[in-house]
Structure 1
């Protein structure tokens, strides 16, 4: 990659200021200094953008600042002119004619970009939850598309562009054609659903390029940055398509369990289960984007074409319900099984504790008062997770239900929700002394969605659950037995 000749003097100035050569893409050059980063937009005209005019480079630099600064305060600083003085010298924000514009940012250590965090195995559960929360907050703040927005047509244009770009970068024409036809058929079937989501306000001015490399640790928190600034139409999309890039990227990094966790945390925060019918399609479309981008870079774009086909391929869904007293490890087992079940990125994990918090309008770890556990509210919580399970199964996504399930009627409701798909019920059991210790420790930590105390456990232990028709597993080591029941091994993920 090269910087246009007319911008060579500006690049030389920025190289001196940074003390290093730039990191280049086909549209920008980023000069990273010890305490400042300067981003120069290349004066190029490509099929999808035009930075050739000075006024446009200023406009897009300011747009990039406006889009990203609210979510990354301090990371994005300002936009300054490069000026040409009468003596022929160039300077930043000096006297004389403006010859270019640069965006000033703070430097981020290379190891703090989430793609590098993933490479070193640093995507902890807490970091994944915080990442999902950051994306959820970004989408909550995003401006909805105007009324009448034609979502199916917009997605159709994106698909057509990706087919064209895959062909232009030399990817196998027959595979591109077959994938394109399959994608178009899926889009045709999804069109009414996508239009309905637009009418609900699910289409918004999103980030637009939300892969792992465009998330970093800033002031200790995962932070989205580098939102797509040069194409409002491309960035105005369904929030499900926006997060699908992150989920696809995690899967391609070999981090399917991380993708499952991010998906489930995101859905636990907002309850947007309506994104599930299109999720495989959206992940496939994001894989097509990455296929031609990688091919243009000289990388292995073909593997992303294969991934796109895999994301489209239906996998028969199933429902697994996990019950037992507080402290038996229902959530731990659900999270272990969910990545191994069904279509990518894994099973929908529906937890009553998280559903109750969402209904109350608070974060999963917030504490709720006793009245939030009144019988009427508990019935509403269970009705909601059953409805979400049915929706997910109809969309082709497997489900793991995670609840105490003391009431036999609730266990029957779980089995009924699965029909006509396969159902497996698991009941976890452990000595009461062990459960007391676990619940007491969890309550002391205060970092879990469960509000259960030892007193709550004691009351539940005195209740009669009736005959348990589900498989009863030792809560001390349930995973191997559960995998055996589901005919799953560590490598059996679909």
Structure 2
């Protein structure tokens, strides 16, 4: 085969997975299915093993047409068929992607070519209504639940119960609030009949291009996935091998060749799903007598949880009186989270248009407030601004973006509306109130230049008199250095995320891995 070069195929070898045995002799590989029933596959009959071999050959010729040579039967002395074998060209083991990565070889060119190959494969793959259904919320949840059920016998002995429990809660929470996102991707034709099992062990980096072997053949529905889900399998495996930078680069190149990646939370979710698929497989290998598979299963479960946590969709309310520094905190927090920040000040300006000069005799003074300013902050106009703020936030949360809402939040009813939004969109909620001494806040207001906020000192004083109690919020002292306040808010957000995971399914939450982190 082109690209094998001077590879040494003189030695015989044997390889084994949870469902097959491969014998290497000369320049050929002979793959035989195990007569096992693992729940998600059943190869206990000769007929089933024949069908699996033929299906594997047909499907894998899509990405490696010159590797899969044919299916032959094995007969006994009487000429009766006893089993079936898939005959393949033997790949040079030294060019296996996992081997190269572990050896520290530069594989960036190979990964870029692999991303190009996978993108082209997905572009021509079927994506009809039957395939598209595989990317919708019900199908994604079903796959997760099946995998979680498959690990139940191993919880305790192999997998940590707390880890598995949190995985289940975070999965239900994320998918429960992202139906619009998943349905939109299915309608856009982004769910394809993919590879389904893209691992670094099954990719060979040859001079004339990569060869991708061993796609999932035993259940078509498990291959009907979002293209990013398919690519995320290899990204997960690269991360498992200790190369998160390569994982991020590979997904970036895949996005380049497909028109862009989706929101980071969805990428994290798909990487998590793939890690847990392999965690289940490692559990099965442990049950088959492979003791080292226990550590692998635990590593993969931890990787699953890491990405699910990173992919949580968060709604953060950053409130406080004018001049307390809430906008500085909100902007810096949004940068850390990769979130969208929305401000009532911006919405208020959009609703009213550009600021006009105050009427004669009502120019702002240090101790005064114009009728123009009072008009900006009437209860009716404030409510309209908050209503628009939450409307925009709902759209963003539904599509998987985290959102930071910068507003005074002095009205308890507006906070209640935000809490309902967090519940409706299955988003982790954090409530923060920025505080500072009155003299600090008033000095900041007077020194503002070019800020969106038009609140005067008198507006701030009036808001302080009417500010509804906010016991649910974490109070952050913002009188000192902004970076200290941001760090305190970041700690509160991370704490709320953990509380949210524990509270998922009970009416809503209170309070490095290289892939979009």
TM bucket normalised to smaller: 0.5 to 0.7
Match in the other structure for 2:180: 192
How big is each residue's C-alpha offset from its partner over 1:351-399, in whole Å with a ceiling of 9 and x where there is no partner? xxxxxxxxxxxxxxxxxxxxxxxxxxxxxxxxxxxxxxxx99x8559xx
Match in the other structure for 1:157: 142
Aligned pair partner of 1:207 in 183, 195, 200: 195
Structure 1 CA distance for aligned equivalents of residues 312 and 36 of structure 2: 47
CA shift for structure 1 position 269: 1.0
Compared with structure 1, are the counterparts of its residues 262 and 80 closer, same or farther at alpha carbon in structure 2 (3 Å cutoff)? Answer: same
Aligned pair partner of 2:258 in 270, 275, 282: 270
Compared with structure 1, are the counterparts of its residues 97 and 226 closer, same or farther at alpha carbon in structure 2 (3 Å cutoff)? Answer: same
Aligned partner of residue 84 in structure 2, secondary structure: strand
Q: Contact 1:190 / 1:278 at 8 angstroms: preserved in 2?
A: no
1:432-451 equivalences in 2 (<5 Å): none
The question of 1:32 aligning with 2:24 is answered yes
How big is each residue's C-alpha offset from its partner over 1:421-446, in whole Å with a ceiling of 9 and x where there is no partner? xxxxxxxxxxxxxxxxxxxxxxxxxx
CA shift for structure 1 position 111: 1.7
1:14-413 equivalences in 2 (<5 Å): 20=12, 22-86=14-78, 96-146=79-129, 149=133, 151-170=136-155, 171-218=159-206, 220-274=208-262, 276-297=264-285, 298=291, 299=293, 300=295, 301-314=297-310, 395=400
Aligned partner of residue 216 in structure 1, secondary structure: strand
CA shift for structure 1 position 195: 1.5
Structure 1 CA distance for aligned equivalents of residues 311 and 74 of structure 2: 55
Compared with structure 1, are the counterparts of its residues 245 and 204 closer, same or farther at alpha carbon in structure 2 (3 Å cutoff)? Answer: same
Structure 2 CA distance for aligned equivalents of residues 296 and 194 of structure 1: 30
Match in the other structure for 1:359: none
CA shift for structure 1 position 59: 1.2
CA shift for structure 1 position 39: 0.5
CA shift for structure 1 position 85: 4.0
How big is each residue's C-alpha offset from its partner over 1:311-359, in whole Å with a ceiling of 9 and x where there is no partner? 1224899xxxxxxxxxxxxxxxxxxxxxxx9789xxxxxxxxxxxxxxx
How big is each residue's C-alpha offset from its partner over 1:37-59, in whole Å with a ceiling of 9 and x where there is no partner? 11011122220111112122111
Structure 1 CA distance for aligned equivalents of residues 12 and 95 of structure 2: 20
Q: Contact 1:54 / 1:100 at 8 angstroms: preserved in 2?
A: yes
Structure 2 CA distance for aligned equivalents of residues 267 and 342 of structure 1: 22
Aligned residues: 310
CA shift for structure 1 position 246: 1.0
Aligned partner of residue 235 in structure 2, secondary structure: helix
Q: Contact 2:36 / 2:42 at 8 angstroms: preserved in 1?
A: yes
CA shift for structure 1 position 82: 1.3
Match in the other structure for 1:468: none
Q: Contact 1:72 / 1:218 at 8 angstroms: preserved in 2?
A: no
CA shift for structure 1 position 280: 0.8
How big is each residue's C-alpha offset from its partner over 1:96-125, in whole Å with a ceiling of 9 and x where there is no partner? 322211100011122211111110112432
Structure 2 CA distance for aligned equivalents of residues 316 and 44 of structure 1: 38
Q: Contact 2:11 / 2:25 at 8 angstroms: preserved in 1?
A: yes
How big is each residue's C-alpha offset from its partner over 1:291-311, in whole Å with a ceiling of 9 and x where there is no partner? 222233332122222222221
Q: Contact 1:134 / 1:223 at 8 angstroms: preserved in 2?
A: no
Structure 1 CA distance for aligned equivalents of residues 112 and 337 of structure 2: 21
Structure 2 CA distance for aligned equivalents of residues 84 and 152 of structure 1: 48
Compared with structure 1, are the counterparts of its residues 312 and 342 closer, same or farther at alpha carbon in structure 2 (3 Å cutoff)? Answer: farther
Aligned partner of residue 178 in structure 2, secondary structure: helix
Q: Contact 1:108 / 1:218 at 8 angstroms: preserved in 2?
A: no
Q: Contact 2:166 / 2:305 at 8 angstroms: preserved in 1?
A: no
Compared with structure 1, are the counterparts of its residues 33 and 49 closer, same or farther at alpha carbon in structure 2 (3 Å cutoff)? Answer: same
Structure 2 CA distance for aligned equivalents of residues 141 and 100 of structure 1: 34
Match in the other structure for 1:332: none
For structure 1, list consecutive stretches of 5 or more residues without a partner in the other structure: 1-17, 87-95, 318-340, 345-390, 398-486
Structure 2 CA distance for aligned equivalents of residues 316 and 103 of structure 1: 43
Aligned partner of residue 104 in structure 1, secondary structure: strand
Structure 2 CA distance for aligned equivalents of residues 204 and 279 of structure 1: 16
Structure 2 CA distance for aligned equivalents of residues 201 and 182 of structure 1: 27
CA shift for structure 1 position 19: 7.3
- Relative to the length of structure 1, the TM-score reads 0.57
Between the two structures, name the one with larger relative contact order (CA 8 Å, sep ≥ 6).
2
Aligned partner of residue 22 in structure 1, secondary structure: strand
